[in-house]
Amino acid sequence: MCGFVGFTNRIADDGAVLHEMMDRIAHRGPDSDGAYIDEAICLGFRRLSIIDLAEGDQPIFNEDGNLVLLFNGEIYNFPDLRRELLSLGHTFRTHSDSEVLVHGYEEYGTALVEKLRGMFAFVIWDKTTRTLFGARDPFGIKPFYYATMGETFLFGSEIKAFLPHPAFEKELNEEALAHYLSFQYSPTPETFFRGVFKLMPAHYFVWQDGKMELTRYWRPNFSPEDGTLEFYADQVDKTLRESVEAHKISDVEVGSFLSSGIDSSYIAEAAKVDKTFTVGFESDDGDRYNEIGYAKEFAKTIGVENISKVITPEEYWTEFPHIQYHMDEPLADPAAIALYFVSKLASQYVKVVMSGEGADELFGGYRIYQEPITLTAYDKLPFFLRRLIGKIAAHLPQKHGINYLVRRGKTVEERFIGNASIFSAAERAKLLKNPTSAVTPQQLCAPVYEEVRDKDVITRMQYLDINLWLMGDILLKADKTSMANSLELRVPFLDKKVMELAEKIPTNCRVNTVTTKLALRKAAEKTLPRRTATKDKLGFPVPIRVWLREEPYYQKVRAAFESKPAQRYFHTDELVRLLDRHRDGKEDLSRKIWTVYTFLVWYGEYFGMPS
């Protein structure tokens, strides 16, 4: 696991600038660094040594030195690819997974990406044609950013690495702010830095002479096949265990994160690791915000060590700005901070961990997926009448049951924009001081829904989450929090072969009115205690709702809401109104408040502290 950065269009002191850019991402690779500079390009690399510790340093070259590789990730089928390429006459100088990419590109060109099983972001520079080829894995497990500033093309693993370059112009993209207020993350290829873009999952590009051509090489294709729940449970168990085994490839010790739920528990049991890691929070609310007891009990049943930490509120709030810095873009998912602390804990013992990200999106794990099939007497009313009632209810004070009426009066395309839905377009327009051209959340999601318009409602919801939520929230926080602590995080659920199976599972083997992830839970029951296999998802829950009603944290947020940056971008009287209504117990507005506060903290890290 590593980090890279590079730029075209040579500049004065390019070597010094390149190394300063590399230093910004030293946390991604503290073990070694490497650089390549020619008359057209500068390439920099930071390495966290996992495979071929002695000889796997980058950049890596092909036999004649005309191709130069920078790579972040792991290729789990690299032994097979290596044997294939050796049989075709290629010569290898290392035993690393990285080298299969440079020889694979020689042999297969851009079709290489379709042969890879793993998580990856990489670039290959062809010195002869002065062509840059870059690619990102199908799910977006590993990050990739790029920007054209003047005549310079910048690219790398983190946006912060661009900041030292003299051509980089740091400017806030307010359209991204509008989208973020609805989704709690940045959902489009554009980022919060104007002119900086994400290379989206399952895309590759070819850059030459200042021109960039983007290609999408893969899309999820849910095509259910016949089969019983028992059949698919057997297939899930077999396929997941094979994926876990592939993901264990390493020359260093591998551990596992462990919450109290099925996803991480299944991975930990299948991986047969020696160490698992768990965090929880101080709370007066029983075990609602602390899964340590459950995790330790489960770890004992499978005979592994569990190492845990209780996070205090003071630690959480103190580390929060530092964590938002590492995110590159604001992410208002409170669980990101828990993930940072469990990564920090694990990094004291291992260099690699496994985790359960992706199970909910692939196998139908979110409770919201039950909504389309959980019908009541109210749903027997004609849709036009429910729509009318919903429109009226939308203008009423937020009481229990109001949101139900609103949602039942909308189609799935209107009501579901993913697992986070914070401010509506109307609410954010009321909040923002500066109007933008940002489309509504529904308009942003429409092209994704269009790709699966012939699928059932639950599948359409899953497809949207795979394309937006998974990349923008789940995997962003997984990569950035782990790499902030120089820890490699692997996600066996997000595997080519696991996805191929998930695409075949019928909807009634994914979700019913009683529970979610049916096939996965049935598979887990073969080896996990029933209590674990059937337990509802918690996933390192955080007591933000409670803290925002406590005076120290209320005052901290209020100060941010009245700061100069807040006054620049928001109607601050509306921000304070939200905060006060939450503190007074009139509404639970914690997610809205946290979304705005997160942006202001992130803004302070990159554009100056709130004052």
Show which residues are catalytic.
2
CA–CA distance, 122 with 1 (Å, rounded to integer):
12
CA–CA distance, 363 with 342 (Å, rounded to integer):
25
Q: Which residues of 73-103 are buried (b: 16+ CB within 10 A; e: fewer)?
A: bbbbbbeebbebbeeeebeeebebbbbbbbb
The SS3 of residue 226 is coil
**Quick check: 328 and 160 in contact, CB under 8 A?**
yes
N-terminal to C-terminal alpha carbon distance within the chain:
38
**Quick check: 229 and 478 in contact, CB under 8 A?**
no
**Quick check: 140 and 201 in contact, CB under 8 A?**
yes
Backbone phi, psi, residue 245, to 5°: -60, -40
How far is C-alpha 170 from the chain's CA centre?
24
C-alpha distances in Å from residue 475, one per residue of 118, 204, 494, 572: 14, 19, 10, 32
CA–CA distance, 408 with 383 (Å, rounded to integer):
8
Q: Which residues pair with 46 in a beta bridge?
A: 3, 33
**Quick check: 413 and 442 in contact, CB under 8 A?**
yes
Q: Give the residue among 327, 351, 347 at the shortest CA–CA distance from 337.
A: 327
**Token representation of residue 516:** 């979610």
- In three state form, how does the secondary structure of 437-485 look? CCCCHHHHHHHHHHCCCCCCHHHHHHHHHHHCHHHHHHHHHHHHHHHCC
Where on the phi/psi map is residue 570: left (φ > 0), alpha (ψ -120 to 50), or beta? beta
Beta strands in 334-413 (DSSP E): 352-354
Burial class from Cβ neighbours inside 10 Å (0-12, 13-18, 19+) for residue 214 reads middle
* Residue 507 DSSP symbol: G
Q: Which residues pair with 255 in a beta bridge?
A: 353
Q: How many CB atoms lie within 10 A of CB 507?
A: 20
Q: How many CB atoms lie within 10 A of CB 545?
A: 17
Torsion angle, CA of 382/384/385/391, rounded to 10 degrees? 140
Indicate the residue type of 554: Y
**Quick check: 313 and 547 in contact, CB under 8 A?**
yes
CA–CA distance, 82 with 92 (Å, rounded to integer):
8
